Structure 1
Amino acid sequence: MDMQAREDARRWLAEAGVTQVGDDAWADADAPEKRLTANDVAQSWAGQVFTDESLDAAGQLRLAFGLLDLLDDYWVTCEIRLADRGPSGPLPSDVLWDGYRRRLEAPETADAVTYSLWVDWFEDRATSATAFAEVLGHDGHLLTDPAPEPLLRRARRVLECSGPVPWPEKETAYGLAARVPALHPALFKGLLGGYRDVYGDLEPSAASDLLARLRLPADTEHLAELRAVLAAGHRNHHRSPRAWAEARQSPGLPEA
C-alpha cells in the first residue's frame, strides 16, 4: 500500500465533497444525510480520476491506485483496466504494473488486486501474457530459496490466481517457482486452477511432471484427483467433466 497515494486520494475526494465518516461509511456534501459505502464511492468516482485534466496519465493512474488503497474495492481496478484498454489508453505501463507489483508485495490483503488479475487480465487472451510477465514472469529468475518475503508474497498471490494464463506463458515461471518449497502450495493452487477454471489452461504431461516435484501433504485436498486426471491426459475439467468424478471414485478416495 502506498500511504502517500492513499492520502492524495483522500484529499482529492475531499475536494469533491466526499469524506469518510466511518470504517465503511462516506458522506457526500451534496447529500449529507445519505451514507455511502466504499463501493458506492468507487462506482461514482474511480472513473472520474481519468477525466482530471490537472493530472497527466501517470498522475491519474497513481491517484487511481491511491483510491484502491483507500477504498479496497475491486471496482477501482475495473476503472483502471477500462482506462488502459479504452480509446485514451494505454496507460503508462511502467506505472501500471509497478502499481500492481507493489500491492501484491504488501503485507496488507490484496484480494481486489488478485481478483482483478484473475478475472480481467489473466482470462483475457489479449492481456494475459503481458500481465503475467509483468507481475511475476519477468522476475521468475529471482525465485530462490530463500527469497525475500515481499517477492514470495507476490509470487504466492500471482500463482494462486494464474490458472487462466496460457501454459506456454507460465510454464517457465512455474518451473522456477517449484524450486522454492514455500511456494509449493500456491503453485498447486495454480495448477488446480489451470485444470478446473472455466478458462484454465495447462499441458497435462508437463503439468503432471511439475506436480510430482511439489512437496505437499499427502492429504492435500484434490491432490489425488489432479494427479489422476493429468496422468490420464485431460486438459481441463470443463472439456472432460466426467474425468474428475471418475478420479474421485478411484480406490482410497471418498465418494463424490
Structure 2
Amino acid sequence: MEMQAVEAARRWLADQGVHQVRDGWVSDEKPDVLLTANQVAHSWAGDVFAEDLDPTEQVRLAFGLLDLLDEYWVTCEIRFANENADGPLPADALWDGYRQRLEADRDVEAVTYSLWVDWFEDHATSATAFAEVLGNDIDRVVAERSEALLRRARRVVECSGPVRWTVKESTYRTVVRLPALHAALFRGIRASYHDVYGDLEPAAALALLDQLDLPTNTRHLAELRHVLAAGHKNHYRSPDAWADAVLSCS
C-alpha cells in the first residue's frame, strides 16, 4: 500500500515535470538546477489539492508525496487543505494516513512532529487528533499488542505533551497496562510538564508515574517526581521548580 502511494506520487511529480536524480530533484523548467526534497515539497505539495481528483484520492496522493519526500511541509499542506474553504478533508482518509505511517517500521519524524506542533498544540484539533491516532484504539492496542500498534502508541504518547490532560488521562491510564510502553509514557508525562503548551494534573500524573516499571537510574525521573509531588503543573509556570528539584535530587 505504502509503496503504491510512493509510486503514485512519483508519477504525479513526473507529470508536473519534476524528476528524482542521484543527488536530489530537477524540474523540466530548470533542468540544471538541483532541488532538495524540501524545495520540491514547498513548490508542489499544495498543488495536489488542486487536482481533479476525489478528495480521498487527493489525501492519499498527498501522503504518498510525504512518503516519497519525507518532508514536514507536506503535512502542512495537508492541514491547510483540511482548513480551507473546500475542507475539511475526508476524516477516514486523513487519519488513516496518519495511523498507517505511525505504525511503519521506519523513521517518521515528519509525521510525529506534525502531530505535536500542529494538531496537538491547537486545542481546536487536539482532542479529535489524539482520539483518531490513539485514544479510540487504545483498548485494541492492549488486546492485540502487535508491534505495529505498539509502535503507533509509543510514538503518539511521546509527543502528546500538549494534549489537554482531560483528553489523554484515560488513555494514559490504559497505557500503564502495557509494560512495553512504560518508557514512552514516562517521556509523555515529562513532555506534559516541560513543553511550553504541555498539560497535566500533578497528583494524577504522579500516581501514573509511580505505576511505571522504569530503571531506578532513569534520567530526570527523580526530578519529575519531585516537581509533581510539589504540585507544579508546568515548567514555564514555575521556572525555578525544576532547578530546585535538580538540587534536591543530586
TM-score, normalising length: structure 1? 0.96
- Matches of 1:63 and 1:170, distance apart in 2: 31
1:33 is aligned to: 32
Offset of residue 146 of structure 1: 6.8
The letter for the 2-side match of 1:36 is L
Correspondence list, 1:14-29, <5 A: 14-22=14-22, 25-29=24-28
- Matches of 1:146 and 1:232, distance apart in 2: 38
Correspondence list, 1:75-114, <5 A: 75-114=73-112
The letter for the 2-side match of 1:206 is A
- Matches of 2:197 and 2:142, distance apart in 1: 30
2:6 is aligned to: 6
Correspondence list, 1:1-256, <5 A: 2-22=2-22, 25-53=24-52, 55-144=53-142, 147-250=145-248, 252-253=249-250
The letter for the 2-side match of 1:50 is F
Offset of residue 98 of structure 1: 0.4
The letter for the 2-side match of 1:31 is K
- Matches of 1:140 and 1:230, distance apart in 2: 26
* Change in 2 beyond 3 A, CA 1:61/1:145: closer
C-alpha contact 1:145 1:179 (8 A) present in aligned 2: no
C-alpha contact 1:146 1:180 (8 A) present in aligned 2: no
List alignment gaps of at least 5 residues for structure 2: none
The letter for the 1-side match of 2:156 is V
Aligned residues: 250
Q: What RMSD, in angstroms, separates the aligned Cα atoms of the two structures?
A: 1.1
List alignment gaps of at least 5 residues for structure 1: none
Q: Determine helix, strand or coil for the equivalent of 2:10.
A: helix
Q: Determine helix, strand or coil for the equivalent of 1:91.
A: coil
Offset of residue 140 of structure 1: 1.2
Q: Percent identity?
A: 64
Q: Determine helix, strand or coil for the equivalent of 1:20.
A: strand
Q: Determine helix, strand or coil for the equivalent of 1:144.
A: helix
Offset of residue 144 of structure 1: 2.4
* Change in 2 beyond 3 A, CA 1:190/1:90: same
TM-score, normalising length: structure 2? 0.98
The letter for the 2-side match of 1:35 is L
- Matches of 1:212 and 1:235, distance apart in 2: 17
Offset of residue 145 of structure 1: 7.2
- Matches of 1:175 and 1:58, distance apart in 2: 34
C-alpha contact 1:9 1:67 (8 A) present in aligned 2: yes
Offset of residue 219 of structure 1: 1.1
- Matches of 2:186 and 2:245, distance apart in 1: 17
The letter for the 1-side match of 2:9 is A
- Matches of 1:144 and 1:12, distance apart in 2: 39
Offset of residue 143 of structure 1: 3.0
* Change in 2 beyond 3 A, CA 1:63/1:145: closer
